[in-house]
Structure 1
Amino acid sequence: MTGYQFTFAGHSLMALGSGALFLPDHHLLCVSDLHLGKSERRARQGAAPLPPYETRDTLSRLEADLTATEATTVICLGDSFDDRAAAEALQENEKLWVKTLQAGRRWVWIEGNHDPGPLDLGGMHLAEFTLASLTFRHIAQADQTGEISGHYHPKVSVRARGQTVTRPAFLIDSDRIILPAYGTYTGGLSSHSSVLSDLMRHKALAVLTGSQPLPVPMPRQPGP
């Protein structure tokens, strides 16, 4: 299991190459913006189609992370489904897969802007979740400390080995962590966008996802 280890709000954490955040002392795995059912929602709304395997791919990666970490608590930071109809349209084998992953674990669905309110897929449904000095919510709020959120799908572009690399990325500073989108086919917002630059402190760090997570100072100008 590869990851970038760091300390935040008095807790030991690991930013995994997959885009999941692991808290080993609490056996807790946190993911954000799964957007399950994205291909179904786009087809329903007449948008350009996507290959219809994104839900299975996302669940397969999540299952691998759960196996590797042996996490007993899972927090999904909102926008777990592309909309309510997409959640309801999941195939029966996909719903069973979700319930199998939940078995024997505490599972928390944080409400997002795409999926407000309870869904009939087991687990707890909360607006936010607090654990000691940490608060898990979907969208970052100003003047917070110990906050872990998602929503913005941050991505970062850097020069590496003579070429430009763009990847989803964690954004980390002394007050907050913003997770990358975990779901397959989710887009991203560049770290130099005004909303992310305004949220993150000057010395914020970006950790690019991938087989070897790459920590860099958070870029605040357009990439190379």
Structure 2
Amino acid sequence: MNGYDFTFAGERLTALGTGALWWGARRLLCVSDLHLGKSERIARRGGTPLPPYEVADTLDRFAADLERTAPETVICLGDSFDDTEAARALPEPARLRIATLQAGLRWIWIEGNHDPSPVAMGGSHLAELTLGPLLFRHIAQPGAQGEISGHYHPKAALRLRGRSLSRPAFLVDTARIVLPAYGTYTGGLRSDAPVLAQLMRPEALAIVTGATPHAVPMPR
């Protein structure tokens, strides 16, 4: 499996190169910030049109991770849809694709700030979820322990052959994990942004996604 193994809150987890998090002991796959329907929402609000391929691309990558890991439980960690109207406007083939992916799985939608109300999709809709020592919610909260969240779409700023670039990254310290955005067109926030630099503890690592995920001290 293309991933970086690490221990958090006493549990062995794997940060996959795609931006998904795998908890092998629970057969649980977690993704954050799919933002399905972003191109529809931008067009609806009169923004610069984007090619309307992001839903299919995101679901293709998600399907590949589901096939690779064969989970029993899936957690979508909030902002799964770009807004409530975008969820309602999903074309029927996309809705059927999601239903197919959900078949036979315990599927949990965590509420995000973009999609705060339950949508007409199968699965459970929760504000947050505690499983063993881990707490799954959309936005990190002060003082949390064992927390897994998303929301910020973190990226790590790196230098490669004299060039500056940024890649989606997991941010990990002893109290929390912040997942990168999984969806196409989601963009990101560099880890040296004040909100992330203040949120994460001094020992925080950035696990950089890609073909060979690897950990570096979180760029600040």
Q: Residue deviations 1:146-168, cap 9 Å, x none?
A: 00000000011111344333111
Deviation >4 Å, runs of 4+ = none
- Name the stretch that deviates more: 207-216 or 62-71: 207-216
Give, as a single letter, the amino acid of the residue that structure 1 aligns with 2:72.
T
- AA partner of residue 135 (structure 1): L
Which whole-Å CA distance do the structure 2 matches of 1:123 and 1:54 have between them? 22
Q: 2:202 aligned with 1:202, yes or no?
A: yes
**Alpha-carbon offset, residue 41 of structure 1:** 0.3
Alignment of 1:6-17 (within 5 A): 6-17=6-17
1:17 counterpart letter in structure 2: G
**TM-score, normalized by length of structure 2?**
0.98
Show the counterpart of 1:50.
50
Return the alpha-carbon distance in structure 1 between the equivalents of residues 199 and 162 of structure 2: 30
- Find the aligned partners of 1:93 and 1:114 in 2 and give their Cα distance: 22
Partner of 2:23: 23
Query: What is the aligned-residue RMSD (CA, Å)?
Result: 0.8
What does residue range 38-77 of structure 1 map to in structure 2 within 5 Å? 38-77=38-77
SS of match in other structure, 2:181:
coil
Gaps of 5+ in 2: none
Unaligned regions of 5+ residues in structure 1, if any? none
Residue of structure 1 equivalent to 2:112: 112
Counterparts of 1:172-183 in structure 2 under 5 Å?
A: 172-183=172-183
User: Aligned-pair distance for 1:118?
Assistant: 1.0
2:109–2:123 contact (8 Å) kept in structure 1: yes
- Aligned pair 1:34/2:40, yes or no? no
Matched, 1:152 2:170: no
Cα deviation digits, residues 113-160 of structure 1 (max 9, x gap): 000121111000000011001000000000011000000000111113
Please state if 1:217 is matched with 2:211: no
Secondary structure of 1:198 counterpart: helix
Residue in structure 2 matched with residue 125 of structure 1 by the alignment: 125
**What's the secondary structure of 1:164's corresponding residue?**
strand
- Equivalent residue pairs, number: 220
Identity of aligned residues (%): 65
CA shift for structure 1 position 189: 0.7
- Code of the aligned partner of 2:117: G
Q: For 1:4, what is the secondary structure of its paired residue?
A: strand
Instruction: Map 1:174-193; keep pairs closer than 5 Å.
Output: 174-193=174-193
Q: Is the partner of 1:151 in helix, strand or coil?
A: coil
Deviations 1:39-77 (A, max 9, x none): 000000010111101000000000000000011100001
